[in-house]
């Protein structure tokens, strides 16, 4: 037990000595391993910014006879897209057909897909910072270690797969959001189903171009991480076996005896 504790302390001491040797070396950024990691870092920022910062609204025009003008009701929604908690509102001090429109909500809850997508992008953003710090500040520690490149390689594969899963789920949710906030909402509002009492028309909906961009960046991230897996793999012992496994003799000459 004492010997095991001594070995653990010795390894921690060696690791502490290596970590204390922080020295900036920008050469890894000139190589695909570091350069692609910078691109992944930038792409992750655009991913969670374009999705998490979205705010939009959908408007419906309501005609109340015998008046000849149309009045507008608005539902304002955004991230994390819990549409079933978004109610319609009327302009201040405006009575629209004597109906309490705040009791009418949009349909659908897409927060799980949206939050998973944004949260995952934030974690990737933080991991890229940590990886770049390791590449640039502890280049020798990364290159000499067997475990760090292997951990980096496994994480790269997992992140690539999760980009595919999260982006596909968010793309499907975005399609449903467009339907739930589009012209079909007119047929889903209970007051608008009363024929003769009023007439409802779909007015407008905020453009979701930034959300489309977020989906594109999701697939861009997947491609970047998938491509970078090869360059991370080259740093592992799977691609570059340890020198201890190399033959002891070169050129077929046996080692001298008696040494």
pLDDT interval class at 256 (50, 70, 90) = very low
Domain presence at residue 114: yes
Three-state SS string over 193-240 comes to HCCCCCEEEEEEECCCHHHHHHHHHHHHHHHHHHHHHHHHHCCCCCCC
pLDDT at 259 over 80: no
pLDDT in tens, 124-151: 999 999 999 999 988 888 888 888 899 9
Domain presence at residue 252: no
**Over pLDDT 90: what percentage of the chain?**
52
Domain presence at residue 28: no
Exposure on the CB side of residue 18, measured as CA atoms within 13 A: 15
Which structural domain range is residue 204 located in?
A: 38-232
DSSP 3-state of 86: coil
Domain presence at residue 27: no
- Quote the CA–CA distance of 224 and 228 in Å, as a whole number: 6
pLDDT at 152 over 80: yes
216: nearest Cα among 30, 50, 17 = 50
When divided into structural domains, the chain yields a total of 1
pLDDT at 59 over 80: yes
pLDDT at 155 over 90: yes
User: For the chain, what is the mean pLDDT?
Assistant: 84
Domain presence at residue 150: yes
Domain presence at residue 24: no
In this structure, of 43-57, 174-188, 232-246, the range with the lowest mean pLDDT score is 232-246
Q: Which tokens go with 248?
A: 């002891």
Domain presence at residue 20: no
Domain presence at residue 257: no
């Amino acid at each position: 037990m004492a010997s095991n504790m001594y070995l653990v302390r010795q390894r921690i001491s060696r690791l502490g000595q290596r970590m204390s040797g922080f020295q900036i070396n920008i050469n890894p950024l000139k190589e695909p391993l570091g350069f692609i990691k910078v691109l992944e870092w930038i792409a992750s920022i655009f991913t969670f910014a374009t999705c998490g910062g979205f705010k939009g609204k959908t408007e419906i025009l309501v005609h109340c006879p015998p008046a000849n003008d149309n009045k507008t009701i608005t539902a304002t929604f955004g991230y994390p897209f819990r549409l079933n908690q978004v109610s319609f509102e009327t302009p201040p001090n405006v009575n629209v057909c004597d109906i309490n429109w705040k009791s009418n909500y949009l349909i659908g809850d897409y927060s799980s897909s949206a939050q998973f997508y944004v949260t995952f992008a934030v974690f990737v953003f933080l991991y890229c910072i940590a990886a770049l710090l390791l590449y640039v500040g502890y280049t020798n520690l990364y290159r000499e270690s067997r475990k760090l490149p292997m951990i980096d390689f496994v994480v790269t594969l997992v992140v690539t797969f999760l980009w595919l899963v999260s982006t596909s789920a968010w793309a499907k949710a975005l399609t449903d959001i467009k339907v739930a906030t589009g012209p079909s909402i007119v047929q889903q509002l209970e007051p608008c189903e009363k024929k003769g009492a009023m007439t409802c028309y779909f007015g407008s909906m905020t453009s979701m171009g930034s959300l489309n961009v977020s989906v594109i960046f999701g697939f861009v991230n997947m491609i970047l991480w998938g491509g970078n897996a090869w360059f991370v793999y080259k740093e592992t012992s799977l691609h570059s076996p340890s020198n201890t496994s190399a033959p002891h003799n070169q050129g077929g000459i046996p080692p001298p005896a008696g040494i």
